[in-house]
Structure 1
Amino acid sequence: MSVIAANHPAIRLPTVPDTKPAAAGEEKTSPPAPAAEAKPAEAVAVTISTAGFKAARNDRNKDIDSSNLKDNAKQLLKMIRELKKQIADKQAELAALNSDTSMTPEQRKARMDNLRSALATLQSSLSMAHTQLGKAMKGESAESQMEAMSLAAK
């Protein structure tokens, strides 16, 4: 099983308020609130099994698998999709890091530099995969080339 942490600025998870008294020596003057009146903290935990990941990956590439392209072109198309997903994830990490105030400016800069380097590597890999797909599709029919480019654009 895999557990994925959701650290995205669009996802808001409420925090649990501190129920400890403000001062350690302070005595309680009122009895605790009944359980019916207390608001439970809301949280979401998502666990996706390995089989679930595989099923999701297979569904995502179903159109590639059902195409009439050669196997090497299909593999390149799947690689292109995976690289695009990884690039989107890194861009989301960068966006989240921009709004993260828990780090010092030096830590944030170092983390941003690492993310930008990883992003540049992924973009370079995507460019090479597109080039390899173009080479693999040379000599194929115009219909096959259009189908491959259409699938690569998704």
Structure 2
Amino acid sequence: MAAIGTLGLGNSGVEALSEAFKNAADKNHDAESATEATPTLVEGVKVSLSGASIEKSASAGGDNRDIEESGLPENIQQLLKMIRNLQQQIAEKNARIKAVMADKTLSTEVKIAKLAALKGAIAGLTNGLITANLSLSKVMNQSDLTAEQTMKTASLLMKT
């Protein structure tokens, strides 16, 4: 059975914030803020979804019953579930990007920081998705799948 690991932000090779932004933020700190030891908590972005989108999200990412009942080999099922999970996470990050862009209460600097972090996360997830798709293709080529199993895998892969 093939095991696939996903890339996280720490090992994706993408920085969450540019060095220029970090240096500008450091220059803006005065002596008083430098002596403070407690970090300031900032409220995150709130996203509200319609009932239809919540239902679609639950049926897409949370319910893999169709994969489990497909009769496909276990390693192919696991890769299909992983691909769905990564696609769902990418969609969630894209929704958060839209919410940050629409949030009028955030300063430009905070928006830049949040967008950079979200884009870095998407880059890592996209790398994981590419790896999972390549692994699925390799496993399918190495397995003795029937034409029906190949079609079933393709149809499950297209569902999001």
Q: TM-score range by the shorter chain?
A: 0.5 to 0.7
Identity value in percent: 36
Provide runs of 4+ in structure 1 moved above 3 Å: 55-59
Of the candidates 46, 68, 77, which is equivalent to residue 7 of structure 1?
46
Equivalent residue number for residue 132 of structure 1? 135
SS at match of 1:125: helix
Equivalent residue number for residue 62 of structure 1? 65
Radius of gyration: which is bigger?
Answer: 1
2-structure distance, mates of 1:144, 1:119: 31
- Root mean square deviation, CA, Å: 2.6
The one-letter amino acid of 1:120's match is: A
The one-letter amino acid of 2:72's match is: L
2-structure distance, mates of 1:108, 1:74: 38
2-structure distance, mates of 1:143, 1:7: 44
Q: What TM-score results when the alignment is normalised by the length of structure 1?
A: 0.62
Where structure 1 has 5 or more consecutive residues not aligned to the other structure, the ranges are: 12-54
The one-letter amino acid of 1:129's match is: A
Number of equivalent positions: 107
SS at match of 1:7: coil
2:122 aligned with 1:119: yes
2:85 aligned with 1:82: yes
Call closer, same or farther: CA 1:6–1:60 in 2, change over 3 Å. farther
